[in-house]
Structure 1
Amino acid sequence: MSRRRSHPQTSPASVSACPCGLSAAYGDCCGRLHAGQTSAPTAESLMRSRFSAFAVQDETYLLRTWHPGTRPRRIDFDAGLRWLGLEILDTTGGSAFHTTGTVTFRARWTHGGRPGELHERSRFVRHEGAWVYVEALVTQ
């Protein structure tokens, strides 16, 4: 079982590539959201920032961006799991003009040297004005 962490295990340098897969540096991309300097303007940007938060094991950000009705008490990160990449496959709603949205994605990982991937369709809603993750609708 992994130890509980309330701060990122590995904070990428602000000039490092962002784990979310966009071309911006971490400090100009998801790092700003993780630090609370801004909030995600769309469901997709929240999905990307949450992927990055899993990659750097930022429990505080993950819990803050999880809907209170489905939020776990804590997140136990698996020390042997390494998130490698994110591919957004589809989005519905989730813009500045919507109150709900879904993001379908594929996330690649390795665990103990073995590759794998997570394919999921996640549901997001606005809660108190901010986008939050609610649940996975489809997993494979």
Structure 2
Amino acid sequence: MIKAKPLFKKFNTSDPCPCGSNKAYNLCCAPYINGTKRVTTAKALMKSRYTAYFLKEEDYLSKTWHPSTRPKQLNLAEDKTQWQQLKVLNSKRGKVTDKKGWVAFAAFYLDEQGSQGVLKEESLFVREAGQWYYHSGTFIE
């Protein structure tokens, strides 16, 4: 299990990006989340969406969720999950010219009682009109 890191009390754009790229947030996922840069691969979308969950950026998550599977609301302000670390396990297709891509990942977290957990999922992403969207996911072991 990973060593627990506390949730950032104040997150600075020069802090390491939560997606685990070892780049500063402002040079990694921030341009996607703030809309100044378009995601070009399924893997990049998955990593930026993890970062958006970490930072509770509901608008970005909604905009990048396929309309056919998007929930009406997320209510992340009420979610006490503290995301700790992301590990990409595998990716298939999902390049600039693909219409679909799959990314398997493990996302480590602390729940509101402070217990560690891991979410493992293989996510399906679809690209429509040049825009990648999260479509759905299947839990994996």
Please give the TM-score of this superposition, normalised by the length of structure 2: 0.88
Separation in structure 2 between the aligned mates of residue 137 and residue 95 of structure 1, nearest angstrom: 20
- Please say if residues 15 and 26 of structure 1, whose CA atoms lie closer than 8 Å, have aligned partners that are also in contact: yes
Query: Deviation digits for residues 7-59 of structure 1, max 9, x if unmatched?
Result: xxx77311000000001101111111110010111000000000000000000
Aligned partner of 1:59 in structure 2 is 58
Aligned partner of 2:6 in structure 1 is none
Separation in structure 2 between the aligned mates of residue 63 and residue 16 of structure 1, nearest angstrom: 24
Counterpart of 1:45 in 2: which secondary structure?
Answer: helix
Asked if 1:132 is matched to 2:133, the reply is yes
Aligned partner of 1:5 in structure 2 is none
User: 71-80 vs 97-106, which deviates more?
Assistant: 71-80
Aligned partner of 1:4 in structure 2 is none
Separation in structure 1 between the aligned mates of residue 69 and residue 140 of structure 2, nearest angstrom: 17
Aligned partner of 2:117 in structure 1 is 116
- Cα drift, residue 85 of structure 1: 0.6
Counterpart of 2:15 in 1: which secondary structure?
Answer: coil
Please give the TM-score of this superposition, normalised by the length of structure 1: 0.89
**Percent identity of equivalent pairs:** 34
Separation in structure 1 between the aligned mates of residue 140 and residue 10 of structure 2, nearest angstrom: 28
Residue 102 of structure 2 aligns to which amino acid in structure 1? T
Aligned partner of 1:91 in structure 2 is 91
- Cα drift, residue 139 of structure 1: 4.0
Counterpart of 2:69 in 1: which secondary structure?
Answer: coil
- Cα drift, residue 99 of structure 1: 0.9
Residue 55 of structure 1 aligns to which amino acid in structure 2? F
Instruction: Please report the RMSD computed on the Cα atoms of aligned residues, expressed in angstroms.
Output: 1.6
- Please say if residues 67 and 127 of structure 1, whose CA atoms lie closer than 8 Å, have aligned partners that are also in contact: no
- Cα drift, residue 80 of structure 1: 2.1
Separation in structure 2 between the aligned mates of residue 85 and residue 27 of structure 1, nearest angstrom: 18
- Kindly tell me the number of residue pairs found equivalent between the two proteins: 132
Query: Deviation digits for residues 74-129 of structure 1, max 9, x if unmatched?
Result: 10224421000100000000011211000000000001211000000000000221
Separation in structure 2 between the aligned mates of residue 110 and residue 72 of structure 1, nearest angstrom: 24
Separation in structure 1 between the aligned mates of residue 10 and residue 19 of structure 2, nearest angstrom: 14
